[in-house]
């Protein structure tokens, strides 16, 4: 086993996704993932708590980037524009690999446990964005939560549309359109 080879976590993510697509999430073991990635099961557990987390390993980075984008929005930007910046940050992080995102989404949709995990992570992301929006000032906690949750809804719907669409689609444009449509529905034209 080539434990010294670089990017063991990346190889484990790719191996897991390949196996989950080929034989199903439930039927795949950690040992099989590790073997396909060319590492030991012990190395697997150095990077991931369990086989679910292979699919969610970037969640913390996504949250950090979206939070940073809200914090970096100009002081004069309203909460809707700050959330738009967070959506742009998300697209910048995950929009570069349509095929991987599509395969990951298929695995999630085929497994209720994984869908539940995804929803929990999105809920935490919404909570974090609401907190950051509230710290920016000019908005009360309920409104911050409402805007953050709306942003998460636009993200989820836009992302699902993107992975279901052509490979050439641009995630940033799809998310911008979803956010713009939502803003238009509530009468806040960009």
| pLDDT tens, N- to C-terminus, the chain (190 residues) | 444 567 899 999 999 999 999 999 999 999 999 999 999 999 999 999 999 999 998 889 999 999 999 999 998 999 999 999 999 999 999 999 999 999 999 999 999 999 999 999 999 999 999 999 999 988 999 999 999 999 999 999 999 999 999 888 899 999 999 999 998 888 765 5
151-154: long-range contacts (C-beta < 8 A, 24 or more apart)?
A: 151/83, 151/86, 151/87, 151/126, 151/179, 152/122, 152/123, 152/125, 152/126, 153/182, 154/87, 154/178, 154/179, 154/182
Which region holds residue 7: left if phi is over 0, alpha if psi is between -120 and 50, else beta? left
3-state class (DSSP) for residue 127 = helix
CATH class of residue range 58-185? mainly alpha
d(CA 78, CA 9): 38
Q: What does the block give as tokens for 78?
A: 């309203």
**Would the pTM of this model clear 0.75, i.e. be above it?**
yes
> Structurally, what CATH architecture does the domain formed by 8-54 represent?
Orthogonal Bundle (1.10)
Domain ranges in the chain? Answer: 8-54, 58-185
> C-alpha distances in angstroms, 52 versus 47, 49, 124, 151, 179?
12, 8, 17, 25, 30
């Amino acid at each position: 086993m080539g434990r010294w080879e670089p990017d063991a976590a990346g190889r484990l993510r790719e191996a897991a996704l390949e196996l989950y697509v080929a034989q199903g999430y439930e039927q795949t073991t950690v040992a099989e993932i590790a073997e396909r990635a060319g590492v030991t099961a012990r190395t697997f557990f150095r990077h991931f708590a369990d086989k679910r987390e292979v699919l969610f390993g970037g969640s913390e980075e996504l949250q950090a980037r979206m939070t940073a984008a809200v914090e970096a929005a100009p002081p004069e930007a309203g909460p809707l524009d700050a959330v738009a910046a967070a959506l742009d940050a998300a697209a910048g992080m995950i929009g570069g690999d349509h095929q991987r995102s599509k395969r990951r989404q298929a695995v999630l949709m085929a497994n209720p446990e994984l869908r539940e995990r995804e929803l929990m992570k999105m809920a935490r992301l919404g909570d974090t964005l609401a907190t950051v929006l509230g710290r920016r000032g000019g908005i009360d906690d309920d409104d911050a939560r409402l805007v953050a949750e709306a942003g998460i809804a636009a993200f989820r719907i836009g992302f699902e549309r993107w992975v279901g669409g052509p490979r050439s689609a641009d995630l940033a444009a799809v998310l911008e359109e979803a956010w713009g449509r939502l803003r238009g529905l509530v009468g806040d034209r960009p």
